[in-house]
Amino acid sequence: MSGVSAKATILIVEDNAMNMQLATDLLEVAGYRVVQATTAEEGITLALAERPELILMDVALPAMDGLAATRRLKQDARTGDIPVVALTAQAMAGDEARAREAGCAGYIAKPIATRRFASLVAGYLQQAAAGRPGTHDGR
C-alpha cells in the first residue's frame, strides 16, 4: 500500500448492514480508519466532524439519496474538497454520468468485489492526492 493512503480515514455512508460490514472489514484490514454512517444526513454530519480523506457514498439511501448528499457536500466549502466515490448497485449506462454530475470522483459497483475493493479505494485516494479527476472501476 502506498504512503498516501496509509491510515487515511474513510467515511462509508451505506444503509445495508452487510455491505457496510464487508466494506469496513476490507478497508480496516488494509489499514484504513473507517467511520460509518447509515443515512445521508448522518454522513454529512460526520464529513464535517471527521474530515475524512475519502467518502464512499451509497446511492440508494432512505430519505435523502447519496447523490443529493454529494451535491450538498460539494456545495459546502468545508467539505467540497473531500472526494466522494459513489457505491452503486445499479451499474448501468448513465450511472457514472449521474454520479459525476453530482460531484462524485467516480463510482464503485456493488456487489463489492472483495479482492479489489481496497485497491480501488487506494486508487481514488491517490488520484485525489494528485489532484486528478477520478475514473470509474472499469467494470
Interacting residues toward Mn ion by CB under 5 A: 15, 58, 60
Mutual angle of helices 40-50 and 66-75, in 10-degree steps: 30
Q: Minimum CB separation from Mn ion for residue 3, in Å?
A: 32
> Residue 71 has which C-alpha cell?
451535491
Q: Which residue lies nearer to Mn ion by CB, 27 or 122?
A: 27
Minimal CB distance residue for Mn ion: 60
Q: Which residue lies nearer to Mn ion by CB, 54 or 56?
A: 56
**What DSSP element (H or E) covers 133?**
none
Q: What is the DSSP letter of 112?
A: P
Residues contacting 13, CB < 8 A, separation 6+: 37, 38, 39, 40, 42, 43, 55, 56, 57, 58, 61, 66, 69
Q: Minimum CB separation from Mn ion for residue 33, in Å?
A: 22
Q: Minimum CB separation from Mn ion for residue 48, in Å?
A: 22
Q: Minimum CB separation from Mn ion for residue 90, in Å?
A: 10
Q: Which residue lies nearer to Mn ion by CB, 17 or 130?
A: 17
Of the candidates 74, 48, 70, 52, the one whose C-alpha atom is nearest the C-alpha of residue 61 is: 70
Q: Which residue lies nearer to Mn ion by CB, 19 or 79?
A: 19
